[in-house]
Amino acid sequence: MKRLGNTLYVTSQGSYLSKDGDCVLIAREEGGKTRVPLHNVDGIVGFGRVSASPFLLGACAEAGVTLTWMTEKGRFLARVEGPVSGNVRLRRAQYAAADGPAASADIARSILTGKIANQRSVLLRARRDHGADAEGRISAAIHALAIALRRLEATPGLDALRGVEGDAAAVYFAAFPALLRNEDPAFAFAGRVRRPPTDAVNCLLSFIYTLLTHDARSALEGVGLDPQVGFLHRERPGRPSLALDLVEEFRAWFADRLVLSLINRGQVRARDFLADEAGAVTLTDEARRTVLIAYQKRKAEDIRHPFLEETCAVGLLWHAQARLLAMRLRGDLDAYPPFIAR
């Protein structure tokens, strides 16, 4: 199993990253320096006006550390990585499966089974901890998602599977407001809005989904898979389709629960969000740091993997699933076992 390192997130505008011996030296524009050992870093993500020296880029390439740049708002811009040494036979098997309607549908069905089962698990947990809501949205969604899981078993093609996913997502997010215990109107949620997010809840969801996609992509590259070629999400220039596939299993159980925790515990407040003239909502710099710290802490928690029956850090789950997907493509497993939380 891969060792869990830390993703280094740099949010201070004007920061300059350079190589200092075996460390990454972060020099901030307003003054102050921080050194982080490179061997403790899985990846480096810079938000906004962050630059890096050529010597650090070279050291990161040799160490297998990917540098990613995003806008201040968290939109992906670019990645810099060293040579890719993926197993050519594994990638050939991946491409063949992606081109085969039956194989694609089989893997997509497994992914969606994990996604919908974990959505249902989040709702069951909420009902157990807080009771059913007055409108009955949680109980109704739990019942509807159970039906969606049965529909997946009898659904043949990719388009039909995506239809089941869409119906399940609509049901799940219709019940999502009942999971929000913070009564501040700033955290009102009327539904999922992506590009751009127009409220605080959608802003948090989109930001954490972006972080999770970055980690999923690195996990897939780590086992030799091509993150651009997916099964549920079809390839599109510039889109990490397989990373988006892998993220589906963890959206509700990891990302959505983290958003709920941040809001319900008051770790983020109305003042932590900014709206521009077009209505797009973004995090303040301070709030972004709060979310990143919570994200890293959650990744460091231990969990027992339900299929592998190994205890590992939460942040290694996507690496474990990438390994299981590679085994399915090689023919070592008859089916891909999705991550389903217990």
Q: pLDDT tens, 142-184?
A: 999 999 999 998 888 899 999 999 999 999 999 999 898 888 8
CATH number, domain with residue 102: 1.20.120.920
Give pLDDT, residue 5.
Answer: 56
- Statement: residue 83 has pLDDT above 80: no
- Statement: residue 67 has pLDDT above 60: yes
Residue 95 and residue 10 share a domain:
no
Residue 291 and residue 147 share a domain:
yes
CATH number, domain with residue 30: 3.100.10.20
Q: Which residue has the higher pLDDT, 237 or 230?
A: 230
Q: Could you tell me the residue range of the domain that residue 150 belongs to?
A: 88-330
Residue 177 and residue 279 share a domain:
yes
In this prediction, residue 10 has a pLDDT band, given cuts at 50, 70 and 90, of confident
Residue 161 and residue 138 share a domain:
yes
Using CB atoms within 10 A of its CB, is residue 310 exposed (0-12), middle (13-18) or buried (19+)? exposed
Residue 255 and residue 176 share a domain:
yes
Distance CA(163)–CA(171), nearest Å, equals: 13
Q: pLDDT tens, 274-330?
A: 888 777 888 888 898 899 899 988 988 888 888 888 888 888 888 889 989 998 998
Give pLDDT, residue 246.
Answer: 95
Residue 23 and residue 167 share a domain:
no
- Statement: residue 80 has pLDDT above 90: no
Contact status, residue 100 vs residue 93, Cβ threshold 8 Å: no
Q: pLDDT tens, 17-43?
A: 998 888 899 888 888 888 888 887 777
Angle between helices 317-330 and 88-99 (to 10 degrees): 80
Give the global pTM.
0.82
| Residue at which a domain ends, from 28, 53, 80 | 80
How many domains does the chain contain in total?
A: 2
Give pLDDT, residue 87.
Answer: 74
Q: pLDDT tens, 36-57?
A: 888 877 778 887 888 899 998 8
Sequence-distant (6+) residues with CB within 8 A of 200 are: 186, 187, 263, 268, 270, 272, 273, 281
Distance CA(38)–CA(110), nearest Å, equals: 36
* Number of Cα atoms under 13 Å in the Cβ half of residue 72: 15
**CB atoms near residue 57 (< 10 Å):** 17
Q: How many helices (H) and strands (E) does the chain have?
A: 10, 12
In-domain check, residue 198 = yes
Q: pLDDT tens, 209-223?
A: 999 998 898 888 878
In this prediction, residue 268 has a pLDDT band, given cuts at 50, 70 and 90, of confident
Give the residue-averaged pLDDT of 92-116.
94
3-state secondary structure of 159: helix
Q: Which long-range contacts (CB under 8 A, 24 or more apart) does 81-85 make?
A: 81/221, 84/221, 85/224
Give pLDDT, residue 84.
Answer: 62
In-domain check, residue 299 = yes
Distance CA(161)–CA(109), nearest Å, equals: 7
Question: Please, what is the average pLDDT of the chain?
Answer: 87
In-domain check, residue 267 = yes
Contact status, residue 23 vs residue 7, Cβ threshold 8 Å: no
- Statement: residue 1 has pLDDT above 60: no
Residue 172 and residue 285 share a domain:
yes
| 52 bridge partner residues | 17
Residue 126 and residue 204 share a domain:
yes
| Residue at which a domain ends, from 62, 80, 98 | 80
Distance CA(140)–CA(120), nearest Å, equals: 11
Contact status, residue 340 vs residue 117, Cβ threshold 8 Å: yes
Give pLDDT, residue 74.
Answer: 63
Residue 168 and residue 109 share a domain:
yes
Residue 248 and residue 180 share a domain:
yes
